[in-house]
Chain A
Amino acid sequence: MTVLRAGVGLIACAAAAAVLISCSGSGTGSRAGADSAASTPTIRIAEHRQPRIDALNKAIPKIEKQLGVVIEVIEYPAPEKDYLSKLLTELGAGNAPDLFTANFDSDVPDMVSAGYLAPMTAEVKAWDGYPQLFDVAKKLSTSADGQIYALDSMLLVQQLYFRRDLLDKAGISTAQPASWKDLLDRAREIKAKTGKYGLLLPAGISWGPGAFNEGFILFAPGSKTPQIVNRDGTLNLNGQGVRDIFRLYKSLIDEELMPVNPLLGPEPWVIPKYVMFPAGDLMATTCGTWCYIYDWGKDSKNPVPDVTKNVGTWAVPGMDGGLSVSISGSNIWAVNAKSAHVDLTKKVLLALCSVEATVAYAGLVGNIPARRDAADNKDFQALTELVPVLRDVDKGTFERSTPGFSVVSEGVARATEALLRKQTDAAGAQAILVKYVKDLLGDNAVK
């Protein structure tokens, strides 16, 4: 009987506790509901990496005052891939913040397909900042269906960065390479004369989307497959150009012209970009304007002295000639389709694309505002590393993206990983990419 009483008592206590919790919960809920109806709405923004959070916090007070909202910044994990994984998991679960950014243009079409993003074409086109957007930003922000679901507030301007001071010292030409062969020959000359690595292209699974967005894609415009999205939205991954790009990687890896081991570990960018390049152990790498500020510039923990003088830039040469500078989106703001305040969040989004907000990001992160009138801003003019780049944004080339691009990005990471591990050749890497994409998107997705 004692056991019975104990069991009944336990269950009674649990039931009483459940009733109390539910009563107190509902009471709190109704009070919270009443409070929230009377109080200022709160917009939750997901942001990651300290410089970006600092830039966002700089812009927030004015926006709160202007729109009469409270903005809560929710800090996410710093590595891009971890940020996106957490964000996508929450978007899938329906509890993501109201406003967030996508890392790359390649992420957006799949987020649209998943139904995560609220369309905002009318609001963006009616916005007074719209005419100021660079054409490339407008094109990058517009989906295949003609709608705008995410707005590129900043631009990544990427090309090749090299150690002018060290190449001059070694008697190696710093003239613009005219073709991939020229580029390879330059890397070989660097290796022969200095023993240092000649060129780094981001690659491998650990580098995540960077293997595609900061490496592979820069060489597509100058290849025989300049756009990997066909007119009908399918993917042209079987093209000769894709194989040629992998061949370029293969040559760099097999001839030990680029560092391989650091790229196989976690955070593969740390050693090559933050240690080897400043130390002069790596002479050239793909990078964007952020490198002048964040990686080796004023905000770097390991800066290159007089960075704009000692680190020069080359446009990315084409396989057989021609030059390109890659433009892609950054700080691509989007509104959660399940937000409780969709309209208000869109207003906050547009305010975050103002000149002041984008210049705050430019100063702390090193990317280029996506609007022309940023050039007139005094704070931006002080960023002398970025001023000439903004002037030339319209000359850049960009890659169209399509649903399934995040799969292509992962496929390129896997293909380049196989190259890094010397498990395959260029044709094999292309086969890995094609198989991965077909496995996930279906045979008809690839032509």
Chain B
Amino acid sequence: MTYETRMAWQNRLLLVPALVLLGCFILIPAVTAIYLSFTNDALSGYAASHPQLVGLKNYLRLFSDQGFWNSLIVTLAFVFGSSIVGQFVFGLAAALALRRPIALRPLFNAAILLPNAVPEVVAGFIWISMLAGGRYSTLSRIVGLIGVAPQNWLESAPLLMIIVVNTWRGIAFAMILMTSGLSAVPAEVYEAARMDGATARQIFWHITLPLLRPTIFLYMLVSTAGTIAIFGLIYTLTRGGPGGATEIIGIYIYNQSFVAYQLGYGSAVAVIMLAVSVALGAVYVRVLKVRV
């Protein structure tokens, strides 16, 4: 056995623990979910003890299910609003602002990072006190000072509110990633641009953004996948209501599987969502020609 072959085997050996864990906790559950999606398995009733293969029935039902399409649209709006727009814009702005030598910078850093340190459910309850309760809610009291009528924000603008909450929670992650991307941009490039008379706006659009592109798309990929998978925050805040207005796909899968007890159908939705996530990932990585 040559040295190279031996090294190759050693390297493969080192991967074994990770592969075993991935197999046990990712691969086997995923394959099981795909299998379940072709059955009528349930948590209760005759199908719980005698699940049967039903072919594509769950998938056919899914495509005519208004609730599924509603949750898909809500998910896309939620991902676009909170992850692609909200977190990214504020995260980039925070990263750019905190590069400058400003007073109390560590304090600002900590303030932006804090929401990420709070568990999802706790964050949900904090925001319930902000948004729910009509005239007693913190937000109603604040906007009441400028004459806005008190309301239950989770009923009057539920989707907007969960987008705001998730934006608040995710700015830190975007900021950290953008900061690392910005630190990789050579200082000489900025110096040369300034010497050529470029304005701050021109520097941002023609140097900073293009050089940040790989970081931005890495962020988009990770953030989109993470936002699609969010559950605890929305479950605590609205449970998908009112009337399905915030029923993102994770909540919809939970409702089908553990509220309506239809494990087979819930698995079919999960499989479709997996396909959507993979497709979105492929769009980021391939269509935009960024190597991540």
Q: Which of A95-118 contact B (CB under 8 A)?
A: 107, 110-111, 113-116
- Give the CA-CA distance A421 to B260 in the complex, in Å: 20
Q: Which residue of B lies closest to A410 (CB)?
A: B260
With known contacts A3-B10, A4-B10, A88-B261, A265–B242 Cβ distance under 8 A:
yes
- Give the CA-CA distance A4 to B10 in the complex, in Å: 6
Query: By the criterion CB–CB under 8 Å, are B259 and A85 in contact?
Result: yes
A234 to chain B, nearest CB (A): 14
- Stretch in B39-47, B101-109, B185-193 touching the partner: B39-47
Q: Which of B143-158 contact A (CB under 8 A)?
A: 152, 154-155
The answer to the question of B289 belonging to the interface, with a C-beta cut-off of 8 Å to chain A, is no
Q: Which residue of A lies closest to B237 (CB)?
A: A266
The answer to the question of A388 belonging to the interface, with a C-beta cut-off of 8 Å to chain B, is no
Query: By the criterion CB–CB under 8 Å, are B13 and A114 in contact?
Result: no
Question: Residues of B contacting A89 with CB < 8 Å?
Answer: 43, 258
Query: By the criterion CB–CB under 8 Å, are A14 and B17 in contact?
Result: yes
Contact with A along B21-32 (1 / 0, CB 8 A): 000000000000
Q: Which residue of A lies closest to B61 (CB)?
A: A439
Which of A14, A261, A264, A406 meets B45, CB within 8 Å?
A: A406
Query: By the criterion CB–CB under 8 Å, are A81 and B259 in contact?
Result: yes
Query: By the criterion CB–CB under 8 Å, are A264 and B241 in contact?
Result: yes
Q: Which of A101-138 contact B (CB under 8 A)?
A: 107, 110-111, 113-116
- The interface size bin for chain A is 35 or more
Which of A14, A114, A440 meets B49, CB within 8 Å?
A: A114
Query: By the criterion CB–CB under 8 Å, are A407 and B259 in contact?
Result: no
With known contacts A3-B10, A85-B259, A114–B17 Cβ distance under 8 A:
no
B199 to chain A, nearest CB (A): 50
Q: Which of A162-204 contact B (CB under 8 A)?
A: 204
Query: By the criterion CB–CB under 8 Å, are B241 and A406 in contact?
Result: no
Question: Residues of A contacting B261 with CB < 8 Å?
Answer: 85, 88, 406, 410
Query: By the criterion CB–CB under 8 Å, are B241 and A92 in contact?
Result: no
- Give the CA-CA distance A85 to B43 in the complex, in Å: 8
Query: By the criterion CB–CB under 8 Å, are B49 and A113 in contact?
Result: yes
The answer to the question of B287 belonging to the interface, with a C-beta cut-off of 8 Å to chain A, is no
Give how many B residues have a beta carbon under 8 Å from the other chain's beta carbons.
31
- Give the CA-CA distance A107 to B261 in the complex, in Å: 12
Q: Which residue of B lies closest to A3 (CB)?
A: B10
Question: Residues of B contacting A107 with CB < 8 Å?
Answer: 44
- Give the CA-CA distance A440 to B242 in the complex, in Å: 25
- Give the CA-CA distance A266 to B125 in the complex, in Å: 13
A315 to chain B, nearest CB (A): 32
- A85, A266, A439 pick with most chain B CB within 10 angstroms: A266
B45 to chain A, nearest CB (A): 4
B272 to chain A, nearest CB (A): 17
Q: Which residue of B lies closest to A407 (CB)?
A: B45
Question: Residues of B contacting A410 with CB < 8 Å?
Answer: 259-261
The answer to the question of A222 belonging to the interface, with a C-beta cut-off of 8 Å to chain B, is no
- Give the CA-CA distance A111 to B43 in the complex, in Å: 9
- B17, B239, B261 pick with most chain A CB within 10 angstroms: B261
Question: Residues of B contacting A288 with CB < 8 Å?
Answer: none
The answer to the question of B1 belonging to the interface, with a C-beta cut-off of 8 Å to chain A, is no
Query: By the criterion CB–CB under 8 Å, are A114 and B45 in contact?
Result: yes
Query: By the criterion CB–CB under 8 Å, are A266 and B241 in contact?
Result: yes
Query: By the criterion CB–CB under 8 Å, are A113 and B10 in contact?
Result: no
Query: By the criterion CB–CB under 8 Å, are B14 and A261 in contact?
Result: no
Query: By the criterion CB–CB under 8 Å, are B44 and A115 in contact?
Result: no
Query: By the criterion CB–CB under 8 Å, are B242 and A261 in contact?
Result: yes
- Give the CA-CA distance A403 to B17 in the complex, in Å: 46
With known contacts A114-B49, A115-B49, A406–B44 Cβ distance under 8 A:
yes
- Give the CA-CA distance A407 to B44 in the complex, in Å: 9
- A7, A264, A265 pick with most chain B CB within 10 angstroms: A265
Question: Residues of A contacting B244 with CB < 8 Å?
Answer: 205
Contact with A along B206-248 (1 / 0, CB 8 A): 0000000000000000000000000000000011011111000
Query: By the criterion CB–CB under 8 Å, are B258 and A85 in contact?
Result: yes
Q: Which residue of A lies closest to B155 (CB)?
A: A261
Q: Which of A389-447 contact B (CB under 8 A)?
A: 403-404, 406-407, 410, 417, 420-421, 439-440
Question: Residues of A contacting B155 with CB < 8 Å?
Answer: 261, 264-265
- Give the CA-CA distance A407 to B259 in the complex, in Å: 11
The answer to the question of B82 belonging to the interface, with a C-beta cut-off of 8 Å to chain A, is no
Q: Which of B251-292 contact A (CB under 8 A)?
A: 255, 258-262
Question: Residues of B contacting A116 with CB < 8 Å?
Answer: 44, 48
Question: Residues of A contacting B258 with CB < 8 Å?
Answer: 85, 89
- Give the CA-CA distance A113 to B50 in the complex, in Å: 9
13 interchain pairs (CB within 8 A)?
A: A3-B14, A4-B6, A7-B14, A11-B13, A107-B44, A110-B44, A110-B45, A113-B44, A205-B241, A265-B155, A403-B45, A404-B45, A410-B261
Query: Which 5 A-B pairs give the minimum distances between C-beta atoms?
Result: A264-B242, A114-B48, A266-B239, A110-B45, A88-B43
- Since A92-B48, A110-B46, A265-B241 are in contact, a sample of 14 more A-B pairs with Cβ atoms closer than 8 Å, ordered by chain A residue number, is A10-B14, A88-B48, A89-B43, A110-B44, A110-B45, A115-B48, A116-B48, A204-B243, A205-B241, A261-B155, A266-B238, A404-B45, A406-B44, A410-B259
